[in-house]
Amino acid sequence: MGALFERYFPNVVAISDEFVTATIQTLYMTFWTALIAGILGILLGIVLVVTRPGGILESRGLFELLDKVINIVRSIPFIILLALLGTFTRLIVGTTIGETAALVPLIAGIIPFFARQIEIALLEVDPGVVEAAEAMGTSPVGIIFRVYLPEGLAGIIRVSALTIINVIGLTAMAGAVGAGGLGNLAITRGYNRFQSDVTIMATLIILVLVFVSQFISNILVKRVSH
């Protein structure tokens, strides 16, 4: 088996340590982006739901402002966002190269995407349940934590899995401009040096990460749906 692997993936074997490092870098970017953007995205998504027209804390001005900002940021291609935030990234991190520097544009790009997904998930909650909670005198904060989040938990898990998959894809794109990770390895070693086996292996590892995240989310959805 080892001899067969060496035959078809000779360059991968030669730089196996780099693959380990690149995979760790990809996991690093994915974890911190998912954590930070996840928290901020959930908060922003909740604000969108409760301040929209007819919401429990209706604020048309705030909702329209946030809605437009999210639409604008989501419309910017990620590769352009990397360039636009270059100065800001250097101000915060001190550099625009490396996996830590990539966190700034990754988080900035994921927050509006995830917030919109959270908004959609929470809007699927039965309005009748919300109205019943209001009729019982439940406070807006109570409705958020006792109605919206518990009732929309399955949907939140689904959109979280979708977002993590999106993050993994964006880390590969960030790697193409020096952020490190599997994307960087696929470009610098696989594409630029015509080592197709490196590109294939980097792609396979990324696919494994995607499948694992989707598998875990499916299990969680089944558990909260029963």
Which of 70, 38, 57, 2 has its CA nearest to residue 160?
38
pLDDT band at 2 (very low <50, low <70, confident <90, very high): low
**Amino acid, single-letter form, for residue 134:** E
Cβ atoms of residues 92 and 21 within 8 Å: no
For 91-113, b/e burial (b = at least 16 CB within 10 A) is eeeeebebbbbbbbbbbbbbbbb
Reported as a single tens digit per residue, the pLDDT across 3-60 is 777 777 888 888 889 999 999 999 999 999 999 999 999 999 999 999 999 899 999 9
Reported as a single tens digit per residue, the pLDDT across 143-193 is 999 999 999 999 999 999 999 999 998 988 887 667 788 988 888 888 888
Which ranges of 52-152 would DSSP assign to H, the alpha helix?
60-75, 78-84, 86-93, 99-123, 127-135, 140-143, 149-151
pTM over 0.85: yes
Domain limits of the chain?
A: 9-225
DSSP 174-186: HHTTT--HHHHHI
Q: What is the CATH number of domain 9-225?
A: 1.10.3720.10
Lowest-pLDDT range of 109-113, 175-179, 202-206, 214-218:
175-179
Q: Is the dihedral of CA 2, 207, 183, 33 positive or negative?
A: negative
Residue 172 has a pLDDT of 85
Structure tokens at 28: 């690093």
* CA gap 129, 146 in Å, rounded: 10
Cβ atoms of residues 204 and 193 within 8 Å: no
pLDDT value at 121 more than 70: yes
* CA gap 118, 160 in Å, rounded: 8
DSSP 25-49: HHHHHHHHHHHHHHHHHHHHHHHHH
The percent of residues in the chain predicted with pLDDT above 90, rounded, is 62
